[in-house]
Amino acid sequence: MAVTFARRVAWDEGEHSVSGDHERCKTCTNPDRWLYSACMPLTNAIPTGFIPSANAEAARAFYEGTLGLRFVADEPYALVFRLGPEPGSDLRVVRVGAKHQPVEFTIFGWEVKGIEHVVDELTAKGIQFRRYPGMDQDERGIWHAPGRAKIVWFQDPDGNTLSIAEHNA
């Protein structure tokens, strides 16, 4: 015989009402999900991104000057930039020194509206977009993926691959 119960669970972002045999959340945006997957404190938490850098000066010039990100702080272990509307998310460009070895896949990206305009602005600032063999990329370097997404890739001064995407194009 299953035990049925009802109680309220509180987290920083508010209370969540749960009831039933398996604690289904009744007040979150997705009440059909189990409590631990739908209402975890991380579900609605503001994320922080990390990008490694061997040269903090070049990274700051690129992320602040070229990409136009809001510089927040120069901390002992990282440069901190603020992304998105306030309160925003932090992007931490971490000082890793000469041991940094860039990887071949995307490590960070942005979702935008009007990708063509964003690509044109960044091209005017000197960004060169990557081309990949076998991918049908247009004259700007934008790949038109199955499902209507548009994606373009570029690298920072450390060779980290970054992306810009418009998924609901």
Q: Where in the chain is the domain with CATH 3.10.180.10?
A: 46-100, 102-169
151, 163 Cβ separation under 8 angstroms: yes
Q: What is the pLDDT of residue 87?
A: 77
pLDDT along the chain (169 residues), means of 10: 38 47 51 52 85 97 96 96 87 93 93 96 97 94 93 97 91
Domain 102-169: assigned CATH number: 3.10.180.10
Written as six digits, the tokens of 27 are 């007040």
What pLDDT, on the 0 to 100 scale, is given for residue 23? 52
H or E, element range at 76 = none
Fold of 46-100: 2,3-Dihydroxybiphenyl 1,2-Dioxygenase; domain 1 (3.10.180)
Sign of the C-alpha dihedral, residues 48, 49, 55, 59? negative
* pLDDT reported for residue 161: 97
